[in-house]
Amino acid sequence: MEKTRLLVVDDAPEMAQFLKLALESQGHQVAVAYDAREGLRLAHQFRPDAILLDIMMPGMDGWQMLSHLREFSDVPVIMLTALDSTENKVQGLDLGADDYVTKPFDLDELHARVRAALRRASMAAANQTVEMLSFDQGRLRIDLAAHKVSANGMDVSLTPIEQKLLLYLAINAGRVLTYNQILENVWGPGYEDSETNLKVYVRRLRKKIEPDPARPRYVLTQWGIGYYMDKV
């Protein structure tokens, strides 16, 4: 079985080598870059299945590397940093990070986050060829080919925006999406400051698909950051 390829980008040699050894102990093939420019080069050449990226680096920092990376790759990225404010987490997610782990971290938790990122990437690739997404043991079904949605066996009538919103959340199931990510991908550029409108549409969508809109089961809130759906 081919090993999964991971790229560690961290300017601290001790931390980078520690991560390399820890990840290799789990059976991964690991490459290391000590600055962002080398990280971008290896992202091209090594073609990792996931990247662990430090933020605070001299020269090009992790934010800038992530922005450049997203111009040519959708590889899962886990940010590793001592910056643990909600603002920093939102910034990372807005730029396209898949997860955010603060230092110091528990090694078992890090391994679990890596496995989850790899699993989400595998599911996203599989979803490109499937025609039906199913949640909660089939209670919520999204027919991608027919553009139909059913909840508890009943067809649900959604407006085009509601359907687009649900589909975007469903395709990215298991990943927290920030308000700005959702607005840009569902409504388009120029709507990044329309959180109030987004919340209205989420409330309307929940009324149509949730068994109990006051206690949502499908469209979940990550307070202060955005929304997500649990994995299929």
Indicate if 12 and 122 belong to the same structural domain. Answer: yes
State the total domains in the chain. Answer: 2
Q: Encode pLDDT of 47-68 as tens digits.
A: 999 999 999 999 999 999 999 9
- Separation in Å, CA 138 to CA 65, 150, 159, 167, 223: 40, 9, 22, 16, 27
Read off the CATH number of the domain in which 15 is found: 3.40.50.2300
Read off the CATH number of the domain in which 218 is found: 1.10.10.10
Average pLDDT over residues 180-198: 79
Indicate if 13 and 106 belong to the same structural domain. Answer: yes
Question: Which of 101, 126, 151 lies at the terminal end of a domain, its last residue?
Answer: 126
Indicate if 154 and 182 belong to the same structural domain. Answer: yes
- pTM of the entire predicted model: 0.60
CB 161 within 8 A of CB 183: no
Q: Encode pLDDT of 152-181 as tens digits.
A: 889 998 887 888 899 999 989 989 999 988
Domain that holds residue 140: 131-228
Positive or negative CA dihedral for 232, 117, 104, 97? negative
